[in-house]
Amino acid sequence: MIGSLLPLFSIRVCISFIGIVGNVFLIACIVQTKFSRVKSFELFLLGLATANLEDILIVNIYDIIVLQTSFIASNIWLCRSLKFLTVFGEITSILFTVLISIFRYQKLRDASKRVNLPIYLDSIRSAWMVIGACVMFSILLSVPIFAISLEDPGENVTRKIGCPPDFFQCNKSYCPILNGIFKYLFITLCNLLPLIIVTVTGCLIIAVLLSQRKTVTPVVSVSSSSQLGGKSRGLRLQRSTIAVLAAMGLFQVDWTLYLIFQLTFSPADLPYWGEMEFFISTSYTSISPYVYGIGNNLFSLKNLMKK
């Protein structure tokens, strides 16, 4: 049994290491910028990287350490607390992805008419308010972890099972009402709805980019320096937008698989339930910082030498 789990454990360690390094480096690159120069988009990236890092660390503590120890049976509140932090990090990462996609679409929409006029989320104060709302919403949706049932039906009686692989404990044969409500509320609000928003926003961004390519605006008596400056800003925005679209695509693939996985299978069907759930949910939190960092020129050789 241990030998069969060793390859999965090795892959898990590699994915976790890649994710931790990427998120830490993205946080370091943004934090080194002077606070007065930090933009809303960078704040959203900082929140995303922090949520990703917290999720990777806690899910490993929960899955690798807690599930392998017998003392947790008498420390059920530790189990609930760790699962609360896992769900909190997962939801926060999802919400920041939705926020980044909406922000980028607003920046691109009517850009030619708006010129240099800011949008609502360009304001640092507005950005902090939205970030606070995302964190509060994540906490609100994670709190039911402390109320759901962790009992599993035995032959004639119910028994405590400690930290279960599927914390919802909701399958075809046994699904407490509160667990079922929380499971499908969680899937709807934290998986399905964000997936729809990211998909629609991604399509709108692509539509805007295609329309901009078809639109040619003649330039009359503009200095060469202004032309170069505008072209440079345009290239940076285009590269950043491509990175956002790539991260959104990764998000769509991962969370579509996660939805199929949650709605189709149960822990009784799959012996490696925890590992499969980990690989699906953690691939986005591990790879996305590299996509955002490279696309926004944060993971440059210059920044690497500074570190």
pLDDT in tens, 224-276: 444 544 455 556 667 888 888 999 999 999 999 888 887 787 666 666 666 77
Cβ within 8 Å of residue 212, ≥6 positions away: 108, 111, 112
Cα separations (Å) of 20 from 50, 53, 54, 289, 307? 10, 6, 9, 10, 15
Gyration radius of the chain over CA positions: 22
Q: Is residue 18 part of a domain?
A: yes
CATH number of 171's domain = 1.20.1070.10
Instruction: Read off the pLDDT band of 114 (50, 70, 90).
Output: low
The kind and range of the H/E element at 154 are none
- For residue 222, what are its two tokens? 């503009």
Total domains, the chain: 1
**pTM flag (> 0.75):** yes
Q: Is residue 267 part of a domain?
A: yes
- For residue 9, what are its two tokens? 């454990």
Q: Is residue 220 part of a domain?
A: no
Q: Is residue 29 part of a domain?
A: yes
* Highest mean pLDDT of the ranges 20-34, 40-54, 58-72: 40-54
Q: Is residue 221 part of a domain?
A: no
Indicate the range of 55-59, 160-164, 166-170 predicted with least confidence: 160-164
Describe the crossing of helices 2-31 and 40-60 by its angle, rounded to 10 degrees: 160
Helices (DSSP H) in 61-157: which residue ranges? 76-108, 111-114, 124-142
The residue to which tokens 């980990």 are assigned: 278
- For residue 23, what are its two tokens? 């998120």
Instruction: Read off the pLDDT band of 36 (50, 70, 90).
Output: low
Domain that holds residue 249: 2-214+226-306
Q: Is residue 219 part of a domain?
A: no
The kind and range of the H/E element at 153 are strand 151-153
The answer to whether residues 256 and 237 touch, using CB atoms and an 8 Å cutoff, is no
